[in-house]
Amino acid sequence: MKQGFRQSMAWLHTWTGLLVGWLLLLIFMAGTASYYREEISRWMRPELPASQVSADVAAQRAVAFLQANAAHAETWFVTLPDARNPAIRLFWRNPDSMVKPPVEGERRRRGGGRFGEATVDPNTGNALEARQTRGGDFFYRLHFDLHYLPVMWARYLVGFCAMFMLVAIITGVITHKKIFKDFFTFRPEKGLRSWLDFHNVSAVMALPYHAMITYTGIVTLMVMYMPWGMKAAYPQDENAFFSEAFGGLPEITTEAGQRMPSAPVQRLLDSARLQWNGADVAGFSVVHPGADNAVIDIRQRDGRRLSSETPALRYDMVRGTLLQHSPEAGAATATRGVMYGLHLAHFADWGLRALFFLSGLVGCLMVASGVVLWAVKERPKHARQGRIGFGLRLVDALNIGTVAGLPIAFAAYFWGNRLLPVGLQARAEMEVSVFFYTWAAALVAAFVWPRRAMWAVQLYAGAAMFALLPVVNALTTSAHLGITLRTGDWVLAGFDLAMLAFGAMLALCAWRMQHWQPPLSAAEKKKRAAAMAHAAKTAEAGA
Amino acid sequence: MMLLALGLCFSAFVALSLATEKHPVAMQGRALIARVDRSAWRWVGWALLAVAFALSVSARGWALGPVLWLGAMTLAGIGLAFGLYPYRPRWIVPAACLVPLLGAAGLLL
């Protein structure tokens, strides 16, 4: 190799970053939004009332609802309300005999009718008729499953992007010579210099976050990306590996016994709290409900622990005796648990969550400024030749369509939630379609006219759509700022206020894009100064 | 507690930036800077970061404390480098004095 080490690292950084940049931005934005997955879901179902009952009452109502509606299910899965989610969420698994064969030509739902689900109002114990929406779960899935693609392909694609991101981070640190000297250096209004500064500072300031989130992101799907160790040690049975490595409580394989009434659920929850010295219960699952060998696994709420492995207790649900503690994790499992936990940040309270969210936004800005930087750097070469080449035009279009277009799509998803009729068929899918059609429209527009004016147009469009969301919300629901601020419902009010803030930020970007003047070269400056001086002189002479 | 950690990190970064060559000029309070040696500011900066770390760990434990500390550093650094330095340099020294005091007041109240 003729080039020096640093040059080759710079080359690697440029091209790994550019190749995956746009998909990476989608992944980053969806992941950042996922920190507020529950809050987004709450906002997107404004019908949900606030929970006013204790966890015990909610648990009793959940069991009563399941006994009435899913008595013959094999398992129940209950998530109790908490500060972030006011409703009880229920899932259950139907026995094989109850699963209908898929109808020809009908699009198959996940699980094909094997699973039932319901959202229950803890205040009344009745199923909630909230609008159909995927809420924040859409962003969560989009983050690693993408959409329209087979899940496995999507996950490999996301893993590929994450690997490239990791390479880009390492090579970026090597390329960036003066990390400490330029730690705080951001010089605006200087063209290429400004973009480089911005990219550097956004990368360096949040470097611990970027490195952590990329590495732990790969760890979350590590068994899928590198299955060979598992295949060698457990050639026959992958499930044995999963239950031994990450399982927590072992799976129950016995058949359901005779019908027999269970012990009251609040007594079991009390016993679990006593075992945990008062720690809260997040939810529980029941295997063989209503049978004489029913068992209940009670899950502890995430709290002061980084790991995603939450302790659980298993009780005999009929006799109320404690059967088993979730096993202590081994070193490797504990390590993975901590990494998984760090990535998901379920442990974070509102303040820490805000820090994660802001760091995620900084990550989005870093990726966005990286792809823009490439175009800014390339442009003078094309300007010298007098025409914009194919490569730059392509990158410009993709930049506008994702950096400015994706925010429009995010806002459009929320607009769709408020404006699509509540009774619509397949409404949840329709909201998702709104997201992708809007994004596609932004991309097409960017490809048709990849100029600076298009940047401004799309950024203004995004700004308007975000800023008007609270207005649309006020016109279509009764969960708007006028009410939520007064009642102190900070989840809903915070969402609307955040939308206003995003609108303002995008408007600022758009305004700067619209009023930006290309910096003058030194020679041009001299020429203009001379012309000014000349004009002044002639004016004087004329007078 | 969050605000105090954030304020300490912010002041620490201000002190560290005073220790570098190019930045002090952009700021007010040059007299203050002239009197104290540059390497002293470096010590002050690192000491403040250490205090912020100790505070985070004592408040949130060894698991969450370091995470909080890193997050606070990120936010403080972004605010300083993208906000105050290029656009409101005169606010930097007052902010570096005020924010930790506000945080401490919030902790006591």
List chain A pLDDT tens, one digit each, 543 residues. 457 888 899 999 999 999 999 999 999 999 999 999 999 999 999 888 777 788 888 999 999 999 988 888 889 999 998 878 888 989 998 887 766 655 554 444 444 567 888 888 888 888 887 888 899 999 999 999 999 999 899 999 999 999 999 999 999 999 887 887 788 888 887 888 889 999 999 999 999 999 999 999 999 888 888 888 888 888 877 777 777 777 677 778 788 888 888 888 889 999 999 888 888 888 999 999 988 889 999 988 876 677 877 788 999 988 888 888 887 777 888 888 888 889 998 888 888 999 999 999 999 999 999 999 999 999 888 888 888 889 999 999 999 999 999 999 999 999 999 999 988 888 999 999 999 999 999 999 999 999 889 999 999 999 999 999 999 999 998 888 988 899 888 889 999 999 999 999 999 999 998 888 766 666 777 787 888 888 878 877 766
Cβ contact, residue pair A208, B23, below 8 Å: no
Q: Are A171 and A341 in contact (CB under 8 A)?
A: no
Q: How far is A103 from chain B (nearest CA, A)?
A: 50
For chain B, what percentages of helix, strand and coil (3-state, to nearest 5) are there?
90, 0, 10
Domain that holds residue B16: 2-108
Give which of A260, A275, A272, A282 is closest to A59, Cα–Cα: A282
Pairs of CB atoms within 8 A across A/B: 75
Of B23, B72, B75, the CB nearest to A184: B23
Q: Are A469 and A499 in contact (CB under 8 A)?
A: yes
A130 touches chain B (CB under 8 A): no
Q: How far is B82 from chain A (nearest CA, A)?
A: 7
Q: Are A113 and A93 in contact (CB under 8 A)?
A: no
Q: How far is A321 from chain B (nearest CA, A)?
A: 33
Cβ contact, residue pair B71, A356, below 8 Å: yes
Give residue A209's pLDDT: 95
Q: How far is B54 from chain A (nearest CA, A)?
A: 17
For B72, the closest chain A residue by CA position comes to A355
- pLDDT tens for each residue of B1-13: 889 999 999 999 9
Using a CB-CB cut-off of 8 Å, the residues of chain B touching A356 are 71
Give which of A454, A530, A515, A524 is closest to A189, Cα–Cα: A515
For B17, the closest chain A residue by CA position comes to A184
Q: How far is A526 from chain B (nearest CA, A)?
A: 26
- How far is the C-alpha of B44 from the C-alpha of A257, rounded, in Å? 70
Count of C-beta atoms within a 10 Å radius of residue A96: 8
Q: How far is B30 from chain A (nearest CA, A)?
A: 18
Cβ contact, residue pair A205, B2, below 8 Å: no
Which pLDDT band, with edges at 50, 70 and 90, does B28 fall under?
low
Cβ contact, residue pair B17, A352, below 8 Å: no
Cβ contact, residue pair A184, B17, below 8 Å: yes
Residue with tokens 């540059």: B38
Cβ contact, residue pair A305, B63, below 8 Å: yes
Cβ contact, residue pair B75, A355, below 8 Å: yes
For B67, the closest chain A residue by CA position comes to A352
Cα A156 from chain centroid (whole Å): 18
Give which of A124, A76, A137 is closest to A298, Cα–Cα: A76
Q: What's the total number of domains in chain B?
A: 1
SS3 A325: strand
Cβ contact, residue pair B70, A342, below 8 Å: no
Cβ contact, residue pair A355, B68, below 8 Å: yes
pTM for the full predicted model: 0.88
SS3 A238: helix
- How far is the C-alpha of B35 from the C-alpha of A459, rounded, in Å? 47
Cβ contact, residue pair B74, A358, below 8 Å: yes
Q: Judging by beta carbons within 10 Å of its beta carbon (0-12, 13-18, 19+), is residue A498 exposed, middle or buried?
A: middle
How many residues are present in chain A?
543
Give residue A463's pLDDT: 97
Mutate to test the interface with B, among A306, A335, A355 (most CBs of B within 10 A): A355
Q: Are A266 and A296 in contact (CB under 8 A)?
A: no
Mean pLDDT over all residues of chain B?
85
Q: Judging by beta carbons within 10 Å of its beta carbon (0-12, 13-18, 19+), is residue A90 exposed, middle or buried?
A: buried
Give which of A312, A271, A314, A310 is closest to A295, Cα–Cα: A314
SS3 A120: strand
A92 bridge partner residues: A76, A116
Task: List all residues 6 or more positions away from A413 whose beta carbon is below 8 Å from its beta carbon.
Answer: A138, A431, A432, A434, A435, A438
Rg of chain B over CA atoms, in angstroms? 14
Task: List all residues 6 or more positions away from A414 whose beta carbon is below 8 Å from its beta carbon.
Answer: A43, A44, A469, A499
Cβ contact, residue pair A184, B72, below 8 Å: no
- How far is the C-alpha of A323 from the C-alpha of A249, rounded, in Å? 11
- How far is the C-alpha of A534 from the C-alpha of B105, rounded, in Å? 61
Q: Are A456 and A510 in contact (CB under 8 A)?
A: yes
Mutate to test the interface with A, among B74, B92, B107 (most CBs of A within 10 A): B74
Residue with tokens 């802001």: A358
Token couple for B102: 């506000």
Angle between helices A350-385 and A192-205 (to 10 degrees): 150
Using a CB-CB cut-off of 8 Å, the residues of chain A touching B68 are 351-352, 355
Of B2, B20, B82, the CB nearest to A186: B82
Task: List all residues 6 or more positions away from A474 whose beta carbon is below 8 Å from its beta carbon.
Answer: A480, A481, A482
Task: List all residues 6 or more positions away from A49 whose beta carbon is below 8 Å from its beta carbon.
Answer: A86, A121, A123
Give residue B41's pLDDT: 85
Give residue A100's pLDDT: 60
